[in-house]
Amino acid sequence: METGEAIHTVAMTEQKAFHGWNQRCSLFQVVAQIEQKMNACSLYELLAICWETGQISAIHNHNDQNCWMAVPMGKLIVQNYHILDQDLDAGRCRIEKADVIEMDPTDPVAVNPNSPVRKVFNPREFGNRAISFHIYSRPFSSCTVFSEDQKTCRDVDLVYTSEYGIRKDRAVC
Ligand SMILES: [Fe+2]
């Protein structure tokens, strides 16, 4: 089995388990966005992120790691970006919009390692909450975020809202 095929199998298995769990829990009543760390080892980690309508991520990279995404519920848009130039030490960059991808339960995506900068959002016009699974290999604890308008970039630490179903104290990120 190829790596991509194996990852897809993991995502689909977790997707079925997560769907039943979500039906039993008032997940979205707790916080606007929850990251649920579901499974992890030194080679990969699996996150679930819940999206209210209108929610949008920062423009970010993936710290030179591989990333696969599946959306078991709802639909999400991925806006990819090209980096024109970047000076992380000075906090300056120029980026431009590239292609747009729509993700839904039948269309998982893999982050292109050669073009890893993107934002993800749940447009209000979709009118539904969404859930996304993210498989990172290897796991990473920080990434670079970008501002297209301000032409700035900086490294940020990543935090989990919960791990293995246990809610964590909210950390500032
Ligand atoms: Fe991402």
The 10s digit of each residue's pLDDT in 104-132 is 988 888 888 888 999 999 999 999 999 99
Chain-wide mean pLDDT for the chain?
A: 81
CA of 118 to the centre of ligand 1 (A): 7
Provide the pLDDT confidence category of residue 31 given band limits of 50, 70 and 90.
very low
Ranges of each domain in the chain: 3-167
Rounded Cα distance, 108 and 132, in Å: 9
Could you tell me the pLDDT band of residue 15, with boundaries at 50, 70 and 90?
low
Residue with tokens 């993991």: 10
Report how far ligand 1's centroid is from the alpha carbon of 114 (Å). Answer: 14
Distance between CA 166 and CA 162 in Å, rounded? 5
In angstroms, the CA 38 to CA 132 distance is: 12
pLDDT value, residue 81: 97
Tell how far the Cα of 24 is from the centroid of ligand 1, in angstroms. 27
Q: How far is the CA of 23 from the centre of ligand 1 (A)?
A: 25
User: In angstroms, what is the span from residue 78 Cα to ligand 1's centroid?
Assistant: 9
Task: Please give the distance, rounded to the nearest whole angstrom, from the Cα atom of residue 46 to the centre of ligand 1.
Answer: 12
Give the position of tokens 């990434």: 143
**Superfamily designation of domain 3-167:** Jelly Rolls (2.60.120.10)
From the CA of 119, how far away is ligand 1's center (Å)? 7
Confidence of residue 161 (pLDDT cuts 50, 70, 90): confident
Contact 55, 131 (CB under 8 A): no
Can you tell me the distance from the alpha carbon of 142 to that of 94, in angstroms, rounded to the nearest whole number?
21
Torsion sign, CA atoms 82, 86, 91, 92: negative
What's the Cα-to-Cα distance from 39 to each of 10, 33, 48, 83, rounded to whole Å? 10, 19, 10, 32
In the block, tokens 């390692």 appear at 113
**152: which strand partners?**
92, 147
